[in-house]
Chains A and B, each alone.
Chain A
Amino acid sequence: MSKQLVCRIRKVSWESIRQMEDIEVNPQDGRNFWQIRNGYGKTTTLLLLRHIFTGNQPNTEELRHFKYNQTFGGDAKHGKFCVDLEIQNPSHPEEWDSWTVSLHIDNSGHQPTCYFETISPELGGPKDGWHLPESFKSHFENKSDFIELFIFDGETAKELCTAQGTKRITRAIRDVSGLGKVFKLIESDKSLFENIFDEEVRNQPHINSAGSSEALQSLGPLKDHIASVEISKLALEDQLEDMDGQILSIVSDLKGIDAQTQSQGEIKNLETKIEHNKTNIKSKSQDLIQALANPSNLNGTLWDQVSALCNEMLRSRIPETVGQSFFNDLLRDDTCICGLSWNSEMKAHVESRVNDYLGDDILSAIRTMQNEVEQHTKPTLNYGDIVSEIKEIQKDTDEMKTQLTRIREDFDEDLASKREELLGFKFRFLKEKDEIKEKLQEIEETDEYEIQRNRWDKDAIGNSGPLVQVHRFTLCKNLKSLLTIKQYLNERASATDVLRDLRRGINTATEVIEEALDTIMEQMRQELKTYSNEILSKIPGAGGPLFIDFNQGGLEFYNQHGERQPGANIGANVSAAYSFIAALGRVGNMDVPMFVDSPTTGLDAFSIRGWSENIVPEFGQFIAFIHNVERMGIEQSSAGRKVLYDDNQTSLVTFHRSHEGVNGIPQSGKLVADTDVEFFKNYMPTDN
């Protein structure tokens, strides 16, 4: 199957345009690197190319910007920018047609003026105006947004990754579908079908029934009202996108602050832990003192020996269970414990044995010691262990104190209040977003039950059908209700068979074509997402794989867990934009030049490799403006060096003043396009 559009730039020429006197470059298929220092016409060229591709004339301010402003022989009154294109004939892919589009600028009058000129054998020669073939026009004519994707700079890449990029993405999908003409048949109130109906109404000579006349009178205000509701809808959608952008930006800021706020949490956490450690040390110290006083904590086997001795004594009933005081008390009684009255012999015997028993004070001390030994047969606490624990806790505390000092040194307390402020904004924006969503829902709701429940038709549709009353339907903002009323009015206004048939035909054709287009757009969206991620996956990036999706925030990044990753860096944005644009070419089945200003901005060495090996080859013709610093960045990667210098497959051009050496001085003489590779490699002006 042939492609919808295949196009190459064969020549670009400048005549007395800003810094350029008379210069031309002939890009080749594949890779083209144009090295140019700042201030020599990069931005000017990009802007001019966009005009050439879209057929949109520059405004006065731009024309003034393009005026020749040097003193090396250019003409300040007349300038010309010219691009030679080769465009494949879609019906005969083996045939390529030549087309030259020139923009002539006249600065001789008070106000600068300009005009396009197109030259092609297909036109039979030169012709004033912009007359590129249909296959080209259907993609680029008047599509300034779309061409910015293919004549591309960092700003576009950045915008694609914001809420503002959402509409650009949606429009781009539509633009590459090649179905623009079909959209024009049915889109909004200015569709070709509706225009035909309006025209036919004007042509009907006898529309004289009261009903049709009233309906016709109401149709005008109704169409105006629908148009104003659609404008409000767009404004609300813009607001919603802006709000999303603001919220995303806040989330990104919060993420940055979170690292700091995390420090705040860490400080509190560390302080609590240090406090806990202090209490712990105090408690352990008390345990240690008690342990030191505990005889069972005697070292070695000594306590075991004491314990064994004590047990042996207890078993041998040592000491005796009674002491000297027991016998002394007994002697003072009238009778012995056996019940006999004391006689002298008995008393002498007892008195002679009393000293065999311990005194009560000694007995009590021994009993206490025996109890101690019995109760502490095994050590309950090892004071050595306690000392180790205390030392560990102290060490932990010291480490935490050091960490605390370091965090406190880095922590900016102002950020904490800034975070609170941002959270407040976020809350406010989310609330406003909900309000906008509610307003949008009122406009967009198509569920009859919801419309009736919320009375969003504002009673403009009665039980017996819509009411032909302007003051009623102008209160209604629900598009479905308004379209129902419009259909009703259209039918009533169709007083003749011709009009009725026309209306019926328009309504049916619109419904069928609209549904078919919706389905195709959704399919393309899915294809585009798949291709974009396929290409992106080949560009290595730090921090793990990222995926892109097209949602409210333009090209949005997600990690492998499906979590949104806001605040992507410029390299990620550029990689995503490249992937998206390359995928757009595939989905749109077109092969057109990719013209980029500073193609590797924000890419690190790994990404440059991915870009060299996977992005550049996606385009049949890749033309990049680079400055020498960027050239050196590309040279640092082996894949980058290959893209620039290997196999002579790359066209290398350096734009410099004719007197300039590789050191960039002197900056005098006409600007030239130098194809010398050694000059390209060694060009080192110092002002970049």
Chain B
Amino acid sequence: MVDRNKDLKSQIENICKREGYETSIQKIILELATESLTRSTQIPDAELKSLLQRLGLKLRNTVE
């Protein structure tokens, strides 16, 4: 039986590798997706926003 959470993690890692995202970017995306599964309630918006902004900033720095 496949653990869907693990599967999701592994899929995200594969896609990030394929797209050439650095580890820190991959970590944030994984946190966004898998953190929501381990908590009894949805991640608070403020926390999500902070993660998304960090992701955006890292992407900007990578591109620039």
Contacts and interface: CB of A to CB of B under 8 A. Distances in A.
Interface of A: 1, 134, 177-179, 181-182, 184-185, 192-193, 195-196, 199-200, 498, 500-506, 508-509, 512-513, 515-517, 519-520, 523-524, 527, 586, 589
B54 A505 contact: yes
Contacts of A502: 49, 52-53, 56
A516 B52 contact: no
Interface of B: 1-5, 7-8, 11-12, 15-16, 19, 21, 25, 28-29, 32-34, 36-37, 40-42, 45, 48-49, 51-57, 59-60
Contacts of B7: 520, 523
B11 A520 contact: yes
Contact of A505 (B12, B40, B53): B53
Nearest to A195: B45
A178 B37 contact: yes
A527 B1 CA distance: 10
Given A182-B37, A185-B36, A504-B59, A520 B8 contact: yes
Contacts of A179: 4-5, 8, 37
B17 to A, nearest CB: 11
B56 to A, nearest CB: 3
A501 B21 CA distance: 16
A90 to B, nearest CB: 11
Contact of B45 (A192, A503, A509, A589): A192
A504 B58 CA distance: 10
- By secondary structure, the A interface counts as helix
Contacts of A195: 45
A196 B57 CA distance: 16
A196 B42 contact: no
A179 B4 CA distance: 8
A589 B15 CA distance: 25
A498 B52 CA distance: 10
Contacts of B42: 181, 184, 192
A182 B36 contact: yes
Contact of A134 (B4, B8, B19, B40): B40
Contact of B55 (A505, A516, A586): A505
A604 to B, nearest CB: 33
A519 B11 contact: yes
Given A195-B45, A500-B56, A505-B54, A181 B36 contact: yes
The list of the 8 closest CB pairs from A to B, nearest first, reads A501-B56, A505-B56, A505-B55, A516-B11, A505-B52, A504-B56, A181-B36, A134-B40
Given A1-B1, A185-B36, A512 B56 contact: no
B49 A182 contact: no
* A501, A513, A516, A519 — most chain B CB neighbours (10 Å): A516
Contact of A509 (B4, B8, B37, B52): B52
Contacts of A513: 12, 29, 32-33
A184 B55 CA distance: 19
Nearest to A134: B40
Given A192-B42, A589-B4, 7 more contacts: A134-B40, A178-B5, A182-B34, A502-B53, A505-B57, A512-B19, A523-B7
A227 to B, nearest CB: 21
A502 B29 CA distance: 13
A1 B37 CA distance: 17
26 contacts: A1-B1, A134-B41, A178-B37, A181-B37, A182-B33, A182-B37, A185-B32, A185-B48, A193-B48, A501-B53, A501-B56, A502-B49, A502-B53, A505-B28, A505-B51, A505-B52, A506-B52, A508-B21, A508-B56, A509-B32, A512-B15, A512-B29, A513-B12, A516-B11, A516-B15, A520-B7
A1 B49 contact: no
B25 to A, nearest CB: 8
B49 to A, nearest CB: 5
A504 B49 contact: no
A517 B7 CA distance: 9
A201 to B, nearest CB: 12
Contacts of A508: 21, 25, 29, 55-56, 59
Contacts of A506: 52, 56
B52 A193 contact: yes
B29 A504 contact: no
Given A501-B53, A505-B52, A523-B2, A182 B45 contact: no
B57 A517 contact: no
Contacts of B54: 505
B45 A199 contact: yes
Contact of A196 (B15, B34, B49, B60): B49
B48 A196 contact: yes
B19 A501 contact: no
Contact of B8 (A192, A193, A516): A516
A391 to B, nearest CB: 73
Given A185-B36, A193-B48, A516-B12, A509 B5 contact: no
A178 B19 contact: no
A500 B53 CA distance: 9
Contacts of B15: 512, 515-516
A134 B41 CA distance: 8
Contacts of A586: 1
A308 B41 CA distance: 117
* A181, A184, A519 — most chain B CB neighbours (10 Å): A181
Nearest to A4: B4
Given A200-B49, A504-B56, A519-B11, A509 B29 contact: yes
B8 A589 contact: no
Given A192-B42, A513-B33, A182 B59 contact: no
